Structures are given as C-alpha cells and as structure tokens.
C-alpha cells in the first residue's frame, strides 16, 4: 500500500475560467464574462469534439469548441444518463417520457438528421424483467456490439449485437444482486471482452467472449456512484475502484495494487495516464456509499491529479461543488454547480522538466543514449519515468503548426488528440500563425491568383524547423508541393459534400423552394458554376471571411437568402444544426480533397513521418490520390471550376470529375473506375520515398496507390480529349478579367 502523503506535489496544469467567446469582429456583449451552462443540467459526458449535457426538461445540449450551444428535445420529461462513444458519432441516453419509473434508452446517430435533430435509431425500455427500478449507470462498448445498464436493485441488463438496431441485438439480464450497481466498464484485450460490475459492496468481472458469460468475484467491497473508471493501456487497462480508504486496481481475474488515498471520493476519471479524483475531507462529510454525488453540498472539494506509475501528484486544487470533470480538446474541464467551467491545460514538457529540476541531466544523458536501442531509465530523485526508443522521439516536444482560425485550431486539436492517444509518452505543442489567405479578406480567393494561400507561411516555418509538422485542410494544399515536403498522413474523411445554411427567415426551405432572384453567397467558383447551372432562377455573389464571419453576415443582414459552406467545417465547429440542406453530387460535386485533413512534414524527417503515418486512412488516401491526380493533370486550382466525387466500394475505386465555365453553361463530366483490391490484399506499401501527388503512404500497398493515381490521370485525359482545356482556359481568362 502506497501512502500518497509521501508523494511529491507539482503544478503540471494551468487553471483558467472558461469565458464567453468574442464575436467575429472581436467584440460581443458577453465577451470576457464567465461562460455559463444552461440551468437544470442533470448529466454530462464528452466526445467527438463536444461536451454533451442532459437537463431536467428532457433536452440534450452540445457544446463544441466554438462555445456555441445547440440542443434538441430528446425526452418529454428529463434526461438521466448519457454515454458518448469516442470513436463513433453515436450517443446513448436514458431518460423519461412519462411520470413514474419508466426509464427509456434511446440511441442517437449524430451524423444523420431527422427534422433537424439527430436521428434516433433505437428506443427500448430500461427495465430488468419488467420490474420498475431506477437506472444507476450506463456504458457502451466502442465496437457498438455491447451495452450494459446497471440498476439500483442490483440488476445489470446486457444488450449484445448491434446496439443501434432492435432487430440485430439481444437483451438479457446478466447480473442480479442485493446491492445497487454503481459502476460498469468494458475491457477489450485482443479478442477477449470483459465487463466489470461494481456495487456498493462487491466487484465482479464477466467474460463476455465465452458462452454463458462466466463470472468471477474480485472483491467484497465496492464504491459509490461515479467512483470507478478504466485506465488506458499505459496502466494495463485496469479497473479502478475508489473507496473512502483506498483506491484499488483490478485485472479481470485478480486484484492488483492499492493506494491509500483517504477522504470520501465523489468523482473518479482516467485521463492520459493520470488518475483524477474529486474528494471531500472525511471529517466534514458523512459516509454515504451509494449516493456519492448526492453527498455533495456547498463544501469545498479537492481535485487531485495522480501519476500512479511515478508516484507523484501532478496537480491539486480546490473547487466549489464539482458537478463532473470532462476531457475534450486536449484539456480537462471541471464543471461546478454555479454553472461555470474551469479549464485545466497540461503544461509543456520543458516546463515540467524544469519543475522537476531535470532539464540539464536529461540533456546530458541524451547525448550518451543510442537511438537504435530501446532503453528505459527511471530517475529516482523525482519518480519521473522517461523512455527512449528507436525513433528517438520520446523526449522531444513535437511542435504542430496551424492557422489561427478557430476551425483550423479545432481541426489541429483533433489530429493532436489522435496522436496523443497513440503515443502516450510524447508531448505536443501547437504553434498558430496567420497565412496570406487569412489576411486578405476583401478579395475573392479566385482573384488573388497566388498558390498556397493558406499554406505558405506554415511551410516556411516547417522548412526553418520551427515546427515538426503542419495540419491543413487537404483541399488547401496544392497538388504539387514545394521540394522537401510531403503529406505524411491523411485522416479519415468527414462528409465531403457542400451544405446550405439558410437565413433564419428561410428555415425549412431548400434551394429549389427559395423565391426567384434569391441571393446565395459563396466564395467558390466551383460551387457557383454548378449551382448557376442547376438553379438558374437564383443569383450568386461572393462572400469572404471565416465561418463565424460568414454566418454573422448571413444572420444579421438581408444581403443573402442562404450561403454555401463545406459540411465538414460546420460539423467540426459543432454547427450541424445550421445545415438546412446537403447538396448531393447531382446538384454539386465537391472540391478535390474536401473534408479530409492532411499532415504535412519534411520528407526526410523519417521519425516524424513514421509517427504520423499511423493516422493514414486507407480509403481516404486512395480517393484523394485519384482526385489530386485528376486536378494536377488538368492544371486546375481555385481560379477555375473543377469538381470531383469519389468512392471506394468492393475493391473498386470510382471517380467522377467535371470542369465548368464560370456561368455553368458549358461543362464536361464523366466517371471512371478501377480495381484497387484494397484492403483485401497483403502487399506492403512502398519502402522508398515514393510520393503519389505529394502523398507518402508506406502503409498502403504501392499497386493500390498507383491504380488510384492512374485513374485520376486517365479521367483527366478523357476530359481533355473532349475539350476541357478550352473550357478551363476561357474560365481562367474571364476570372482574371473580372
């Protein structure tokens, strides 16, 4: 047993009160004031780029990084439980539509809409064996094949199969007992799935990958509600149970170490190798095992951040009446009963090493360590464990370049978060800067005439070694990169289509139902050309600025009936509720690379290139190689209307490409396909520095990349043979003359 009173204490996090964001012009009535949560919040969770809340009125609220709330009516009465999947846009909720003990489970697909709200794909009563009892906890497996619901009467109901559909799953009572269930957690190790069940008086594990689900009792004491959690792989996926005397760690078949952390535990979470505990002083709080959260009052509460591996306290602070602690956007967020949000941002590695007094000793040791050997050394004076491996990255601070816009920061944060989850011992810093495209806001992009509008300054910083990698929207990257650079990763694509956002007076309409001569705002020649052709009764005008600015111009003035934006950007900003219409390919093909995020690196920086390559999404990479090859062979860009649509299905890659005159009256469009045999084959990727339209993807088979590039080249050649060069030449001349 380890006495935490002997552990060293540090301040590895900065605490800051979250405030109302400024408006697009830098002002705003509430700017600078503490941000306030809606009243009546009953439950919360986080994931997929948002903090999620349920309230006493039956509403579910989403708070994205932009701090612009959106909500929908999920239940007629109240929401009691939420579980947001981290790897899927699926939200599970428990709530009530009528008085009495009648809890209902609803599963929501956040990517699909039903009348403007998320689509509810499944509803079923949360009652074990038709016995009315209160739901106490809820958890869902990330593979979407298991859901477990705990009850105050000691029951656990397990749903196995596709939890998003009634017909593809089976529900049964897994566990019955005499004590309230206070915590549930799925553990996946290889092909073995376990479910941990903790009550106020005991702890069990069930092996779900074996018939009849064998059960093993792990201990004869339990914990209160919200006082258990599952660690990440850095702590071997152990189930953590926090009692008032000690914190215990469990494997599926045995109890592991325990730690003497005294005080009544109210909230327990795991975050990036740290154990987060919110507790009260035992002297000032009566023992109340089951009602862990009910025991909260206006007394002060202590939040401690423990490093169990190295046995030190990374942060400790006092808060008033903590509601919960959420993790999103690379930070911790402490919610308090007064409706305020406190952000805890982990400090950079250099600052922490300086606090430990280790910076000089590490620098000296690094000179003597060989990068080709895997070494681990524990510095006993501090208890901080540091690692070195073959790529030599473990003690480096990885600097990530990005634009300063809010959307760019959100996109970069999402990429950094993916890297942090894969490389638990690496530390990342974000370096934001303005680009040419950000500075010129009074001229249409197609008129500026310069390539790399949103990338040049970032690439300069990359060349000067001021940053190690840069996150871009792929559609901003030219198809031919400057020498020495490559796209080291293309992440899984968001919805690539364009979306229509309507003026409030036009809610519920479509482009086809707008009055004649309605003005539509767009900064894209590609969108304008296609939509002029498809909707000749409408008028189209340029609109510039970031997403916030364009939405403000739409809402606060009468200049536009609607504007066209990328659906991906709206979703990443958390503004899906503003999408009034998604434009299908028949109405408007999208831009090359639209919806995909790219990580640009120095081509010869093998360490960084190997690190980011884990983020490659094979399907997205092949589609984008074909699109970029098509664009490059046409010599297209933002100054001419070139559009695409691509899809990988059953090992066949399909590419549709088109070119348009500025007014859309003249066009060429065609579709081709090719076999790529991906991902069914076993062939390795290129083992050299081969790039395909600026993309290095060593983990994707060479033949598949070559097939994708050839598909783009062949489709472009087909359109050129039909007269595409003339259409684009005239479009370029007319655009220059405007």
Catalytic residues: 476
Residue 679, preceding peptide bond in cis (omega within 30° of 0): yes
Q: Checking phi first, is residue 161 left (phi over 0); if not, alpha (psi -120 to 50) or beta?
A: left
Q: State how far the alpha carbon of 166 is from the alpha carbons of 99, 109, 171, 493, in Å.
A: 25, 14, 10, 29
Q: What's the half-sphere exposure (Cβ side, CA atoms, 13 Å) at 548?
A: 17
Token pair for 704: 């598949």
Helix axes 702-721, 724-737, angle to 10 degrees: 80
| 210: number of Cβ within 10 Å | 10
CA atoms within 13 A on the CB side of 407: 22
Give me the residue label for tokens 């949103």: 454
How would you label 283-295 residue by residue, b for 16+ Cβ within 10 Å and e otherwise? Answer: eebeeebbebbeb
Q: How far apart are CA 44 and CA 165, in angstroms?
A: 24
Rg, the chain, Cα only: 27
The tokens describing 562, both together, are: 């609607």
The secondary structure of 248-288, three-state, reads: EEEECCEEEEEEECCCEEEEEEEECCEEEEEEECHHHCCCC
Q: Which residues lie closer than 8 Å to 285 by C-beta, 6 or more apart?
A: 264, 295, 299
CA distance 616 to 493: 10
Alpha-carbon gap, residue 39 to 29, rounded angstroms:
20
Cα within 13 Å of Cα(615), Cβ side: 28
C-alpha to C-alpha distance for 728 and 589, rounded to whole angstroms: 17
CA distance 511 to 540: 12
Output DSSP code: residue 491: P
Give the separation between CA 24 and CA 1, rounded to whole angstroms: 54
DSSP string, 23-41: -TTS--TTTTSBP-PPTTE
Q: How far apart are CA 474 and CA 391, in angstroms?
A: 27
Burial class from Cβ neighbours inside 10 Å (0-12, 13-18, 19+) for residue 703 reads: middle
Q: Exposed, middle or buried by CB within 10 Å (0-12, 13-18, 19+), for 72?
A: middle
Q: Answer for the pair 318, 311: CB distance below 8 angstroms, yes or no.
A: no
- Return d(Cα 483, Cα 485) in angstroms, integer: 6
Q: What three-state secondary structure class fits 628?
A: helix
Do residues 304 and 277 touch, judged by C-beta distance below 8 A? Answer: yes
**Is-contact 605 468, C-beta < 8 A?**
yes
Q: Residue 403 is encoded by which pair of tokens?
A: 């634009």
- Is residue 312 within 8 A of residue 383, CB to CB? The reply is yes
Inter-residue contact 5 to 312 (CB < 8 Å): no
Task: List phi, psi (to 5°) of 624.
Answer: -75, -30
């Amino acid at each position: 047993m380890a006495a935490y009173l002997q552990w060293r204490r540090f301040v590895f996090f900065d605490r800051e009160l979250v405030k109302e964001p400024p408006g697009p012009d830098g002002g705003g009535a509430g700017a600078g004031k503490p941000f306030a949560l809606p009243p009546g919040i009953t439950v919360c969770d986080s994931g997929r780029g948002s903090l999620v809340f349920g309230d006493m009125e039956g509403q579910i609220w989403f708070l994205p990084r932009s701090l612009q709330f959106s909500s929908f009516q999920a239940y007629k009465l109240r929401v009691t439980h939420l579980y947001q999947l981290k790897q899927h846009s699926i939200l599970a909720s428990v709530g009530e539509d009528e008085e009495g003990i009648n809890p209902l489970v609803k599963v929501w697909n956040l990517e699909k809409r039903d009348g403007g709200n998320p689509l509810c794909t499944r509803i079923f009563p949360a009652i074990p064996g038709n016995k009315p009892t209160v739901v106490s906890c809820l958890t869902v497996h990330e593979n979407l094949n298991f859901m477990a619901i705990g009850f105050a009467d000691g029951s656990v109901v397990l749903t196995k199969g596709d939890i998003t559909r009634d017909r593809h799953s089976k529900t049964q009572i897994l566990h019955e007992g005499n004590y309230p269930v206070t915590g549930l957690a799925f553990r996946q190790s290889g092909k073995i799935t376990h479910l941990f069940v903790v009550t106020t008086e005991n702890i069990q594990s069930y092996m779900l990958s074996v018939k009849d689900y064998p059960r093993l009792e792990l201990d004869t004491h339990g914990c209160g509600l919200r006082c258990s959690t599952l660690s990440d792989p850095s702590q071997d996926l152990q189930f953590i149970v926090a009692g008032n005397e000690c914190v215990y760690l469990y494997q599926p078949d045995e109890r592991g170490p325990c730690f003497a952390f005294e005080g009544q535990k109210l909230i327990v979470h795991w975050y990036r190798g740290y154990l987060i505990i919110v507790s009260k002083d035992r002297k000032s709080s009566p023992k109340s095992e089951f009602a862990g959260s009910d025991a909260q009052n206006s007394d002060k509460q202590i939040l401690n951040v423990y490093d169990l591996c190295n046995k030190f306290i990374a942060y400790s602070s006092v808060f008033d009446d903590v509601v919960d602690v959420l993790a999103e956007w690379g930070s911790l967020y402490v919610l308090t009963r007064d409706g305020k949000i406190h952000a805890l941002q982990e400090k950079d590695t250099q600052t922490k090493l300086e606090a430990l007094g280790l910076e000089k000793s590490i620098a000296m040791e690094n000179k003597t360590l060989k990068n080709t050997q895997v070494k681990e050394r524990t510095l006993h004076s501090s208890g901080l464990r540091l690692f070195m491996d073959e790529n030599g990255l473990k003690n480096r601070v990885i600097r990530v370049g990005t634009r300063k816009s809010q959307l760019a920061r959100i996109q970069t944060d999402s990429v950094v978060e993916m890297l942090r989850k894969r490389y638990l011992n690496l530390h990342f810093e974000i370096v934001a800067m303005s680009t040419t495209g950000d500075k010129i806001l009074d001229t249409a992009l197609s008129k500026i005439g310069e390539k790399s509008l949103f990338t040049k300054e970032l690439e300069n910083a990359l060349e000067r070694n001021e940053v190690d990698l840069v996150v871009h929207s792929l559609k901003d990257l030219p198809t031919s990169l400057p020498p020495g650079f490559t796209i080291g990763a293309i992440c899984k694509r968001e919805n690539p289509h364009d979306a229509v956002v309507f003026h409030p007076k036009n809610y519920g309409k479509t482009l086809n139902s707008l009055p004649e001569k309605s003005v539509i705002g767009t900064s894209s020649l590609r969108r304008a050309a296609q939509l002029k052709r498809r909707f000749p009764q409408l008028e189209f005008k340029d609109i510039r600025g970031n997403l916030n600015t364009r939405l403000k111009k739409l809402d606060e003035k009468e200049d536009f009936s609607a504007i066209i934006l990328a659906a991906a950007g709206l979703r990443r900003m958390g503004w899906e509720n503003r999408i009034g219409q998604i434009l299908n390919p028949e109405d408007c093909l999208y831009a090359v690379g639209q919806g995909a995020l790219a990580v640009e690196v120095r081509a010869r920086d093998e360490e960084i290139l190997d690190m980011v390559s884990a983020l490659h999404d094979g399907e997205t990479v092949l589609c984008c190689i074909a699109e970029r090859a098509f664009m490059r062979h046409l010599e297209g860009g933002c100054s001419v209307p070139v559009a695409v649509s691509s899809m990988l299905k059953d090992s066949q890659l399909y590419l549709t490409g088109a070119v348009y005159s500025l007014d859309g009256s003249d066009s060429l469009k065609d579709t081709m396909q090719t076999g790529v045999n991906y991902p069914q084959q076993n062939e390795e990727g290129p083992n050299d520095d081969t790039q395909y339209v600026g993309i290095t993807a060593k983990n994707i088979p060479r033949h598949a990349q070559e097939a994708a590039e050839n598909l783009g080249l062949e489709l472009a050649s087909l359109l050129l043979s039909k007269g595409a060069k003339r259409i684009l030449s005239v479009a370029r001349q007319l655009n220059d003359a405007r």
